[in-house]
Amino acid sequence: MDFEALRAFVAVAETGSFTRAAAQIYLTQPAVSKRIGTLETELGTRLFDRIGRGIHLTEAGRTLLVRAQTILSQVEDAKRSLPAQSGPVSGELSMATSHHVGLHRLPTVLKRFREAYPAVSLDLHFMDSEVACAAIQQGQLELAVVTLPPRDYANIERVRVWDDPLEIVVGRSHPLARRTRIKPTNLVGYPAILPGPGTYTREIVLAALAPIRHELNVVMSTNYLEVLRMLAGIGLGWSALPRTMIDDELKVVHIDRVHIRRELGIVLHRARTLSNAGRAMIATIKEDAS
């Protein structure tokens, strides 16, 4: 089976368009169509239904997509394992970061990396930490710099780089701002503004507030910590934010025996061979954090 035909098939399936797929893999649209046609002939089945102006994977196409993604990932992994580790740092580095880590931890890292390794083509994706970890598991990215999962995942290696303590905060006009120290139960009577459901940060916050987690009045959620800071600052409720984000518009509420801490760092697939560019990026991150 032709790897290039598989690559064209995956591109069409992921983009939902022959035109976008052609641009993604630097081919003409007729060339992509020809490769898909050859693949369908070889397999003896249709892979896409062309309905109107749209295309849809057939059942056979959906089955092949999972296998094709795995095959192409293994081929790329084999290519990366061939050059000597002392070889030049070049090629493409596909990585992800969360918006918070990308804005607050990586700017100097990326600047230093670009200056030191100009031959590397950096394919950087901004996404939620949970989505990035799923992409690492599926072999779609080489590494991610995100909030580390608070629990173990199959085939995922977590490399802690930064400790990121969180504090319960309110706006200066909030009733809790006048209290020097409170009990966790005091939070129940006030609206909460927390990271979105399913996020690692929300999971960490609720675990720290385990005795009252089901009594909390969560009125708003967002995955963007900068938005949480704004909403808490104007008095719409209490929230939990990294210490590094707390400004003069916020007041830290000290809670007896409650300590909230998350870790930021690098996520890798245990079975994936890192490229020279990937190893260089990890080294640059660790040097910047030291």
The string of DSSP letters for 6-67 reads HHHHHHHHHHT-HHHHHHHTT--HHHHHHHHHHHHHHHTS-SEEEETTEEEE-HHHHHHHHH
List the beta strands (DSSP E) in the chain. 48-51, 54-57, 91-97, 120-126, 143-147, 156-171, 191-194, 217-221, 239-242, 250-252, 260-269
Residue spans in the chain of domains classed CATH 1.10.10.10: 3-81
Residue spans in the chain of domains classed CATH 3.40.190.290: 163-261
One CATH from 1.10.10.10, 2.60.40.730, 3.10.20.600, 3.30.300.30 for 3-81: 1.10.10.10
> Which of the residues in the chain have pLDDT under 70?
1, 79-87
User: For 92, which DSSP code?
Assistant: E
pLDDT at res. 84: 47
Amino acid at position 183, single letter? K
How many helices (H) and strands (E) the chain has is answered by: 10, 11
Euclidean distance between CA atoms 54 and 13, whole angstroms = 12
Fold entry, domain 163-261: D-Maltodextrin-Binding Protein; domain 2 (3.40.190)
pLDDT at res. 83: 57
Closest CA to 42 of 82, 93, 92, 8: 8
Residue with tokens 């030191």: 116
pLDDT at res. 113: 94
| Domain 91-162+264-289 bears CATH identifier 3.40.190.10 | yes
Residue spans in the chain of domains classed CATH 3.40.190.10: 91-162+264-289
The structure's pTM equals 0.69
